[in-house]
């Protein structure tokens, strides 16, 4: 049972009681000059289940004209004045910022927690090297002694993470991976260290395996050859470590989609958007015909691009396509023949040749 009141023009109100479900409001429009915001959508959390739906009418009058008074934290119906919700908590900041310096001074929290730092960004250090110039000889020796003991009392896991996360950032920067992938790979590596999966394996191979797993989970197309080039670890070792880590940590990863590689390969080959769209269409048809099952995603994606380029009259040799995709010319040739035979694309290629003549 919740309280109901009506808001008049003089902001006077009276109390009654009315049963309405708890409503969690999500704002979808901008605020106006009188500090009110029109509400068009909400989430109804009745019975513990979350279901997005439109607010179509007020429970009192059936009107749909609701607004949110930010100053009072109330949702009021403009038609009958019913206060649908009150005492709403504003989780936003209570101060305004006009520049980055002023914002940094007013904020009362630090940087967010992150797995890319060995202490998740919550640790502290005994001084900085810049402080040495302000210390005398006795204080300087004390400073070195305290820093040395701080390093000594750190655990083996922390020391391992210090080195491994630095290597992870280096490889991630080399491959130009997004921050989300770097964060996920750091989390996977941290879990692997905590469960003792790194023991008996090189740190670099586990870092490369974690990065490859994160790339697969976030649908960021990176091949084992690229990771091998960036990390200096053999391709087979990275694949072996990747399978071991994902199996032990229970990480479910779906097979790679060849479509994810189309944009990268097309950009490297300098193909037009029409050719890229046609290649995606060819891959969709190939997946329906089950041509992609049991075949490497890079090879089938490169072959689809090669066929699409022929259809649109953009000549690219099999050698060029193979170099970009990191596969052999034989793979391109075999996938190319399979696509032509199963999808009957020879007619489209012949039409393009006739137009040129």
Rounded CA separation 269/81 (Å): 63
Last residue of a domain, one of 219, 238, 254: 254
Q: 98 lies in a domain? A: no
What's the pLDDT score for residue 250? 93
279-310 pLDDT, tens digit each: 999 999 998 888 888 888 999 999 999 999 98
Helix axes 329-343, 297-311, angle to 10 degrees: 60
Per the domain annotation, does 101 fall within a domain?
no
Can you give the pLDDT at residue 334? Answer: 92
Is the same domain home to 44 and 67? yes
Q: How confident is the model at residue 4 (pLDDT cuts 50, 70, 90)?
A: very low
Q: Which two three-digit tokens encode residue 272?
A: 């037009």
- How far the first Cα of the chain sits from its last, in Å, is 81
Last residue of a domain, one of 237, 254, 271: 254
pLDDT tens digits for 161-191? 999 999 999 999 999 999 999 999 999 999 9
What is residue 306's predicted lDDT score, i.e. its pLDDT? 92
Q: What does the pLDDT read at residue 49?
A: 36
In-domain check, residue 343: yes
Q: How many domains, the chain? A: 3
Phi and psi at residue 154, in whole multiples of 5°? -70, 150
pLDDT per residue as tens digits for the range 102-154: 776 777 677 788 999 888 888 777 777 777 778 888 888 888 888 888 878 78
Whether 205 and 329 map to the same domain: the answer is no
**288 and 263 in a common domain:** yes
What H or E segment, with its residue span, contains residue 280? helix 273-288
Q: How many CA atoms lie within 13 A of 21 on its CB side?
A: 14
- What gap in Å lies between CA 48 and CA 39, rounded to an integer? 23
pLDDT class for 56, splitting at 50, 70, 90? low
Question: What span, in angstroms and rounded, lies between the C-alpha atoms of 215 and 45?
Answer: 35
In a domain, 110, yes or no: no
User: CATH number of the domain that 334 lies in?
Assistant: 1.10.472.10
- Domain, as residue range, for 284: 259-356
**Choice among 23-32, 71-80, 150-159 with the minimum mean pLDDT:** 23-32
């Amino acid at each position: 049972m919740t309280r109901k009141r009506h808001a008049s023009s003089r902001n006077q109100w009276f109390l009654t009681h009315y049963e309405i479900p708890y409503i969690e409001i999500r704002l979808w429009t901008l605020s106006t000059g009188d500090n009110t915001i029109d509400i068009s959508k909400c989430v109804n959390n009745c019975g513990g289940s979350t279901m997005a739906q439109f607010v179509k009418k007020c429970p009192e009058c059936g009107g749909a004209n609701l607004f949110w008074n930010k100053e009072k934290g109330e949702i009021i119906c403009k038609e009958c004045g019913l206060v649908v919700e009150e005492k709403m908590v504003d989780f936003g900041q209570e101060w305004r910022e006009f520049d980055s310096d002023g914002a940094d001074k007013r904020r009362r929290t630090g940087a967010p927690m992150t797995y890319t730092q060995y202490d998740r960004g919550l640790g502290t250090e005994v001084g900085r090297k810049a402080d040495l110039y302000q210390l005398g000889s006795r204080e300087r020796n004390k400073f070195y002694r305290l820093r040395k003991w701080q390093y000594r009392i750190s655990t083996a896991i922390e020391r391992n993470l210090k080195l491994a996360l630095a290597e992870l950032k280096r490889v991630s920067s080399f491959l130009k991976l997004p921050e989300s992938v770097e964060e996920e790979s750091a989390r996977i590596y941290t879990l692997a260290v905590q469960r003792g999966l790194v023991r008996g394996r090189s740190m670099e191979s586990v870092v490369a395996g974690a990065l490859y797993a994160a790339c697969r989970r976030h649908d960021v197309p990176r091949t084992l050859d690229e990771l091998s080039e960036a990390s200096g670890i053999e391709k087979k070792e990275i694949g072996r470590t990747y399978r071991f880590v994902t199996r032990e940590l229970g990480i479910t990863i779906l097979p790679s989609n060849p479509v994810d590689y189309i944009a990268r390969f097309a950009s490297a080959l300098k193909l037009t958007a029409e050719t890229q769209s046609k290649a995606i269409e060819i891959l969709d048809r190939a997946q329906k015909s089950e041509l992609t099952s049991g075949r490497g995603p890079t090879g089938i994606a490169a072959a689809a691009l090669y066929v699409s380029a022929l259809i649109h009259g953009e000549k690219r040799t099999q050698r060029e396509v193979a170099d970009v995709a990191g596969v052999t010319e034989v793979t391109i040739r075999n996938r190319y023949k399979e696509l032509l035979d199963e999808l009957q694309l020879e007619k489209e290629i012949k039409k393009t040749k006739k137009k040129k003549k």
